[in-house]
Every structure is written in C-alpha cells, then in structure tokens.
Amino acid sequence: MVVPEPTAEPAPSETAEAPPVVEGTGNSNEVGVAMVSLTTTDQALPTVEIVKLLTPSTVQVVTEVAGMAFSNSPIPPTGVGTGVILDLEGHILTNNHVVDSAQRITVTLSSGESFPAVVVGRDQATDLAIIRIEAEGLTPARLGVSAELEVGEDTIAIGHALGLLGGPTVSKGVVSALGRTINTDAQTTMVDLIQTDASINPGNSGGPLANDRAEVIGINTAIIQEGRGIGFAINIDDAKVVASQLMERGYVSRGFLGIRPVNLSPSIANQLGLDVKTEGVFIAFVIEDTAADLAGLLTEDVILELGDEAIRNTGELSKFLIAHPPGETVDILIIRQGQEISGQITLGMRPE
C-alpha cells in the first residue's frame, strides 16, 4: 500500500506533567457515587431552579503566575477560571489550563468566602485538574451520566465569564453534537467532547455544563474563536474516571499507542473501499518508535477492536487506554486494504 507523506508530523497528543504543587490524598472513592450527597430527580427543572442548585457547587478559581508585567516592576499576572465542587473534603474539578504553572491559587465560593488551594493532580490530555481547599459546609455538585445524552437536550453553562464581579454568568443552550474531536494546539487532541451552543467565554473554563435536572454532564473547556455559538465540554463520564485517578495518585496512568486517531467517517470508509456503515478508528499517522510502530500498524489502518472491546470511535479508544496501563499486551483487530488482520500490541507509555 502506498502511504501518502503527511504534510506535518504531529506531536504526541498529550504528555504527563507534574503539577507545581502536589498533595497526595489517598482517596479512592468513585467520583459521582460516594462523593455526591444530593438527591437527583428525573423531572426537568425550571432554569432558575437549576441555577439555584448549581451555584453553591460552582467556584471561582483565580491563579497567579510569576512574571514581569513591566520591565522594572514584577507584578504577578492573574488568570480566572471556574471549578466544580466534588465532595465535602474540598476536592474541586477544573481545567488543567486554568491552574497550569500557577504559583498561587485562590478559590472563592458562592458565599464570597475565599480559600487558598493546592493542586492534587493534573492531566494535560483531558485538560482536567483536581485542586483542594480546606473548608467546611461545602455543597458537592450532582454528577450525571453523559452516555445517556442526546443531541437537542437542553444545557445550562455556569462560570465566571471574563472574571466579572457579581457572581457567575449563566447561559442556556442545547447539546449541538456529541463525540467531537478538536485539536487545542499542536500537541493536544481532545476527543469525545460535547458541543453546545450555550455561551462559553474565557473564565468559564472548568465550570459545569448541566442538563435540565441540574446534573453536571460536562466540564466546559474550549471555545472556537472563529465561530459563534460553538463551545465544547469534557463529558462527565470521562471526567469521573480521570478525577478518580488524579485524587488517588495525582496523575493518570494510561496506555499509549502512538497514533493520530480519527473517527472513521462514511467518506473515509468509502475512499478505503469499505462499507460506509463501518465503525472504527482510522489511523491518520503513526509516530515512530511507539507501540503502534513496533506492532506494525500503518497509516490508513482502521482499528476495530482492542482487547475484547469494540473500538467504534476515538471516544471509545480514549476510554480503553485510560483503563489499560502501559506495559499491558492486548489483542488488536484492524482492517488493512479491505482485509481484517488480528494481532497483539503492547501498550506504551506516553512520552514526557
């Protein structure tokens, strides 16, 4: 098979990084189960009621980063984001880019009280981080199940947009699409995102995206500057898994293939001579000297299965890798030039 030369070699999609301040907690509770004390409801709630329920669980996160604002006057630049309270012990879920490189973190509750925070763990790949405060009387958020979402469902986004005074900003929209993949920069590809037209602005990062039952179904993370009404949130099912690992060990241990994965669309399937209904992950690029390269995977291969699990999209691939650590050998089923090929692959470790 003749493989076209890619125009640019993509870098690994994420790297594990040590946070500036790390506090081990040893907490291995399941996020969204033992941590959440509020009772959920099956009934849709008025927007005002949703806001009343979510606001006590939503915090402002202000960070200071060492730097020089003027040549002769060191002034620490500040950033503003949002976070979601997970439990009574003070664990807060936010975006990694909100607290990345922060020298000092201050969390302000809806009551107006402020507390210093420490980083428990960060994960660049999913743009998630756990910070912690020492405070009493906290209100944990209700966490939903994003796997049950459908396009068209109502969404509510709450966050400290633009760092404006007077409390959080509330916006309303719908689930515009599911399973979105975006490149946030040259090194990071985020998969299985929720797309919403609820207004998400700078400062909303790390805040909750909720359904009409006041359950958090996503963590707001990104906006498309070129287009209006396009925002993205990390689905809460993935966030629960990542948060549990960050709280337990301070980092996420995930297997690494070393590929640039793309959902197998009907158009790609057609170009490969496959049934347009075929589901899988198309390999757009194989990084040299990685697990995929050593196992003999090639550009334009299509991954159908890993282990005994069907891999129908990049979201399922991401979930599989989070659940299987580096060094584990698993079965793999691919399609190459129209033929199914089975084999094994030993998962690698994501490079620093």
HEC string of the chain? CCCCCCCCCCCCCCCCCCCCCCCCCCCCCCCCCCCCCCCCCCCCCCHHHHHHHHHHHEEEEEEECCCCCECCECCCCEEEEEEEECCCCCEEEEEHHHHCCCCEEEEECCCCCEEEEEEEEEECCCCEEEEECCCCCCCCCCECCHHHCCCCCEEEEEECHHHCCCCCEEEEEEEEEEEEEEECCCCCEEEEEEEECCCCCCCCCCCEEECCCCCEEEEEEEECCCCCCCEEEEEHHHHHHHHHHHHHHCCCCCEECCEEEEECCHHHHHHCCCCCCCCCEEEEEECCCCHHHHCCCCCCCEEEEECCEECCCHHHHHHHHHHCCCCCEEEEEEEECCEEEEEEEECEECCC
Q: Are strands 255-256 and 231-235 parallel, antiparallel or unpaired?
A: unpaired
φ, ψ at 333 (rounded to 5°)? -125, 125
State how far the Cα of 195 lies from the Cα of 203, in Å rounded to an integer: 18
Residue 278 is encoded by which pair of tokens? 């075929």
Of the candidates 146, 156, 154, the residue with the CA atom closest to the CA atom of residue 235 = 146
Active site residue 97: yes
Active site residue 212: no
Active site residue 205: yes
> Of residues 205, 238, 301, 318, which has the active-site annotation?
205
> Of residues 91, 97, 160, 324, which has the active-site annotation?
97
> Of residues 127, 197, 237, 238, which has the active-site annotation?
127
Contact 305, 299 (CB under 8 A): no
**Catalytic positions, written as ranges:** 97, 127, 205
